[in-house]
Structure 1
């Protein structure tokens, strides 16, 4: 697809991606997705118009061009959610390019995003979460692997870690203290309390692990000693949830959902939970936590001045 881009457009795209990487601390995964989405859009436009488009030509695009691109994407099976993400990247790039080149980006920025139904996360009940931990422990006949899987899933549920964050721990983190310093998305650091049950689970794994857990090496290892593949945790979680008769929505990430929801149900502050999860936006945390209406009204009545008659 990059062959459809002019040299000036390739330079502009690379400069914008570097800008997003440096100034907005976007993750490598996000930068790669941005690059694919915008390159795909530019490639379509080149084919649509029969020529490579330079930066200045983008300013002459109209709403019909955008509609043609979106129709093309839907026609090749791109889901509304994925198309909305691509459109967001296109708009961000165009806004930046317009400021640099001095054109009016209104036609592109006014393009409406496709409608889609957001899939809210499905946390487990507190009882199901405990059953998952116990069942995960029984999936391997090798004690150290059983302890490893239990330790990882306990970190997801007990500390609200992402699977990538749990697997990024190294031998230098041993023994786990009362808090962990986690580097999450966008290289943002946060401090996460570590429950005694999580410290015990990791300590038991470290005691049984047959591999040398040196400070510079990954803490969680595969059977042959390499870094643990996250797919193995997904597989053991899938097996455990099938044994318990739980729905397919029960994934490693669902344990993180459950951590957040159970904290909020127990009276936790939403902003404090936002910090623990490492969310940049409070709205993300709100979508993350499944709380019934009665609980939300309790929080409202306890916190809102008007509700208390002030």
Structure 2
């Protein structure tokens, strides 16, 4: 593997094996996303992962256009991911949700578009649920949403479509959907040494679906969404640190390399300059079999993002 390595998707497109994640807790200024994305592209990342829900697509888009303007990249050199948020979970709103992201990014197309969460909202006690003041749709299966995303692909607005945060049962509902035109190319889920997703990875491999991992280095505390509250800090794990110290690498590099060697696409996220650079330096070493076994044994089936909804 190298920084330019890609994994083939089931629709014939390819995804870089390492990407730069742009999510940050609300306490971070949005301008940080622009600065970090610009630096990430400068040092070699060619896979940028974003989402409508992150509320920083305009900043990410500006960073990308700066690097296009200065000749660092061409648009076709970049793999850009977006995600459909819950407020667009009605088939006739899917393309509108996509268009809103494209406008914020100032892009004509996305390389990958995902259903962000597999939520089917229902009426509870006669009241409809709202999110940030926007009315959510009641009892709409995400199978219908995926069909609307297929239409976005046919329209040339996205090159590939997939899902995020789906479990096996939810993936099967789409895979067994009558009239399915395109299989999901990937499933983006939380995955790290404390949550190795072995069963889900096996199922995805059997169905030619790429597993893309987020929170690969653990997660920043985000009180707003209850992320990582009360959880151990992954990068402080003594086994992980012991391996890193012995081979002269950072714990983050070892954690990333562990997932890459399992055939998982990883999203590295940091707003710190030296860490953005270090996280990309994972292609000039390999973990031995014993180290892989030791890291595998750390699995706790522990989630930083519990998603109670």
TM-score by length of 2: 0.23
Structure of larger gyration radius: 1
Given the two structures, how large is their TM-score scaled by the length of structure 1? 0.23
Greater percentage in strand: 2
